[in-house]
Amino acid sequence: MSDKKTLEVELRGILETEGSLTDEQCLRVDVIEADLDKLEIEARTENAREVASKRLTRTSFGVGDKNTRSNSSMTSTEAYAKWVLTGDNRALGDQLTTPDTAGGYAVPLDLQSELITVLNGVSGVRQCVDVRNYDFDVQIAQVADRPTITNFTGENTTYDAIGVTFGQVRSYAFKSAAESFVSEELAQDARPAVIQEILSAHAEAHGLFWDKQYAFTGAGTSNGPEAICQSDAVTGLNVVETAASGVIDLADLMTAYYSGLPAQYRGGSFSWLMHPTVEAVLRADVDGNQRFQLMPQAMSSYQGMPSGNILGIPVVISTNAPTLAEATAGPTVAAAVTLIDRSSYRIFDRLPMTTQRDEFSKGSEGMVIFRSKLRSDGRWLAPYRSVGIKIKA
C-alpha cells in the first residue's frame, strides 16, 4: 500500500481530469479512497497507543489544572500511576502500610506536596505567617520579657541588671482527619478525576479547619493552636482601639501602624489579616466629600477592583477571621484587623498531609475508602512585632 501523500496526489490527478472518468479511473478512485480510510484508521490506532503508553509512564497525578508531576523511576509511584489509570493493583503489594485485611496504600509524596499547595491556597493565615515543616515536636527558647536600658553606665561601676528572662514556646502535633467513601464502580469508571476531586476536597477541608484554629478559635497551650485574632488574650501583642465605637475605618489602620507598632519593628514583612465583612467596611470608607478613601478607581473612568493592599501593606483575607459582628460584640476580645509580621507567628506542620486509600475494609460493600490526616500547630513567637485592632465597645 502506498503512503498517504502518494495516494492523495494520485487521487487529485484523476479527479482533475477533464471530461468524464473511464471505468478504470472510477475503480481506481474507489481503491484509493479505501486505502486512505485504512491509513487513517491505522494512524488513529497508533496515536491511541502512544497516548496510552505515555499515560502509563506518568508517575503521579496532581490536582487542579496540573495533571502530572515529574517522572520518576520509583516502582511505588509507577505502580500507583498504573492503578489510577487502569485499576490494576497487582503491583501495589509493596505499598501496603497496613495488614492485608485493611489494604491501605499511601499516595506518592509528589502528590502530597501538591495537596499542600492546595492547602496553602485555601488558608488565608498561611499566606501571612511563617510556615515550617518538622518531623517532631519542637521547643523554642526565647526572651520572655524585652529588656530595656534606661540610663548611662558610669565608669568603674557595675553593669545595669536588665533582667533578661527566657521562656519556651512548645509546638504540639494536633491532628485533623477525614474519611470519604466512593463506590468501586465510580472509582473504576472515572478513576483519575474521582481521585483528584476527593484529594482536593480533603485538602480544602483541612485547610479551612486549620485556618479557623489559627485565626480565631484555637484554645492554645496543649488544647490547640494559639489564636491570632484573640487580641486581649495574646500576651505581649500591641493592641489599639478604634476611635469610634462600633466603627472601623482607614484612620484606625493608620493609627495601628504609626502609633500601635513600635518604630523599631516597622521594617518587617507585614500583612493586614481580616474577614471579608471587615474589608467591605474599609473599602466603603468615604471622606468628607463622599469619596472612597481606598477605592479611587471607583471615582474615575477605571472601574476595576481595588488593589490588594492598604497603605502599601498586602491585605490577606480569611473567611475564618472574626466577622465584623464578632469583632463588635462585647466584651471585645476579637481583633477586627491584625497587622501581623510574618515572623511573629509560626505554623508548625508535621510531615505534609498524608493520604491513604483502602480498597478492602469496605470491599464487601463495594466501597473504596480515602482517608487523610494533617498534624499541625500554631504559636506566637514575637507578638510584640504585631498589632491587633479591636473595635471600641
pLDDT at position 217: 87
Residue 96 is predicted with a pLDDT of: 40
pLDDT at 219: 87
pLDDT of the residue at 243: 87
What pLDDT was estimated at residue 341? 93
Contacts of 246 (CB under 8 A, 6+ apart): 328, 391, 392
- How far from the centroid of its chain's Cα atoms is residue 218's Cα? 20
* Helix (H) / strand (E) containing 57: helix 23-57
Angle at 313 between CA 301 and CA 133, to 5 degrees: 130
Which tens digits make up the pLDDT trace of 249-284? Answer: 888 999 999 999 999 888 888 999 999 999 888 888
Give the bridge partners for 349, in sequence order: 133, 376
The pLDDT value given to residue 339: 94
Q: CA distances (Å), 91 to each of 80, 87, 350, in order? A: 8, 11, 29
- Give the residue ranges of the chain where pLDDT is below 50: 59-73, 94-105, 299-305
Whole-number Å distance between alpha carbons of 390 and 278:
12
Query: How buried is residue 185: exposed, middle or buried, by Cβ count under 10 Å (0-12/13-18/19+)?
Result: exposed
- Residues paired with residue 379 on neighbouring β-strands, in sequence order: 346
Quote the pLDDT of residue 290.
65
CATH classification for the domain delimited by 230-346+381-392, as one of 3.90.1720, 3.30.2320, 1.20.1420, 3.40.50: 3.30.2320
Closest to 262 (Cα-Cα) out of 386, 375, 121: 386
The per-residue pLDDT for 27 is 83
Predicted TM-score of the model (pTM): 0.67
Return the percent helix, strand and coil in the chain, to nearest 5.
40, 20, 35
Strand partners, 142: 167
Among 391, 390, 388, 393, residue whose Cα is nearest residue 236: 388
Tell me how far apart the alpha carbons of residues 244 and 39 are, in angstroms, rounded to a whole number: 80
For residues 341 and 268, is the Cβ–Cβ distance under 8 A?
A: yes
Cα torsion through 119, 125, 130, 131, rounded to 10:
-20
H or E element at residue 270: strand 270-274
* Residue 71: predicted pLDDT: 39
Quick one: pLDDT at residue 144?
66
List own/partner pairs for 249-252 with CB under 8 A and 24 or more apart: 249/281, 249/282, 249/285, 249/293, 250/282, 250/285, 250/293, 250/294, 250/310, 252/337, 252/389
